[in-house]
């Protein structure tokens, strides 16, 4: 067997496989620290600076769960603010796609739905894999938000141009003199 294969077999058959490669231990440790600092958390990227001397975890870089990481590092107040932002964005996006984009001429609805699915995928993967307050993982949702903003801007610009053309057409018709 190759080294990579042996590592994979060991990882899948070891005792830690039953606990998600040690993730459940990390999550329990994280939750205990969330309860110690519930309102404001311990600060961004604070997980790696916790005292690990009394525990043996498989990772000390981040909790491998973005919800727990957000709670730990920004507290319930920061998590509430972030959740409010996400919920408001979701509501505004759904309202925009249902009310403002009645005809999907340029595939805006499809692009917006695809962006939403990508964001949902990120949230699901974030429950097991990622760290939220790290540059490389924070870039992905930031790009998705930027993409939603760009799609909204592009549609509104197109809508505004169509409205302006219609207004010019109406004004042109009303200003012409009747034939005498």
* Sequence spans of domains, the chain: 3-175
Phi (first) and psi of residue 114, to 5 degrees? -65, -40
Mean local confidence (pLDDT), 104-133: 76
Query: Residue 31 has what pLDDT?
Result: 94
Other residues' Cβ atoms within 10 Å of the Cβ of residue 146: 11
Residues contacting residue 127 through CB under 8 Å, at least 6 positions apart:
65, 66, 67
Nearest C-alpha neighbor of 107 from the set 56, 155, 48, 161: 155
Q: How far is CA 90 from CA 20, 64, 87, 97, in A?
A: 31, 25, 5, 11
Q: How far is CA 128 from CA 56, 62, 140, in A?
A: 19, 11, 16
Percentage of residues in the chain having pLDDT higher than 70? 71
Query: Residue 23 has what pLDDT?
Result: 82
Query: Residue 3 has what pLDDT?
Result: 64
Of 54-58, 66-70, 113-117, 118-122, the range with the highest mean pLDDT is 66-70
Indicate the pLDDT class of residue 20, thresholds 50, 70 and 90: low
Under 8 Å between Cβ of 37 and 74: no
**Least confident stretch, 53-57, 66-70, 96-100, 135-139:** 96-100
Under 8 Å between Cβ of 30 and 68: yes
Token pair, residue 48, equals: 């790696």
Under 8 Å between Cβ of 36 and 78: no
Under 8 Å between Cβ of 167 and 107: no
Per residue in 65-76, pLDDT tens? Answer: 889 999 999 999
């Amino acid at each position: 067997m190759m080294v990579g294969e042996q590592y994979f077999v060991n990882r899948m058959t070891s005792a830690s496989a039953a606990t998600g490669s040690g993730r459940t231990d990390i999550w329990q440790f994280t939750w205990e620290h969330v309860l110690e600092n519930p309102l404001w958390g311990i600060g961004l990227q604070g997980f790696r600076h916790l005292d690990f001397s009394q525990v043996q975890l498989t990772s000390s870089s981040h909790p491998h769960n973005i919800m727990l990481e957000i709670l730990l590092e920004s507290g319930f107040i920061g998590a509430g603010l972030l959740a409010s932002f996400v919920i408001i964005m979701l509501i505004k996006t759904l309202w925009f796609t249902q009310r403002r984009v009645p005809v999907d001429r340029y595939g805006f609805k499809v692009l917006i739905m695809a962006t939403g699915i990508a964001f949902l995928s990120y949230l699901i993967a974030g429950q097991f894999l990622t760290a939220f307050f790290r540059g490389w993982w924070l870039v992905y949702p930031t790009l998705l938000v930027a993409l939603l903003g760009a799609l909204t801007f592009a549609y509104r610009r197109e809508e505004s141009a169509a409205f302006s053309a219609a207004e010019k057409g109406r004004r042109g018709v009303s200003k012409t003199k009747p034939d005498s």
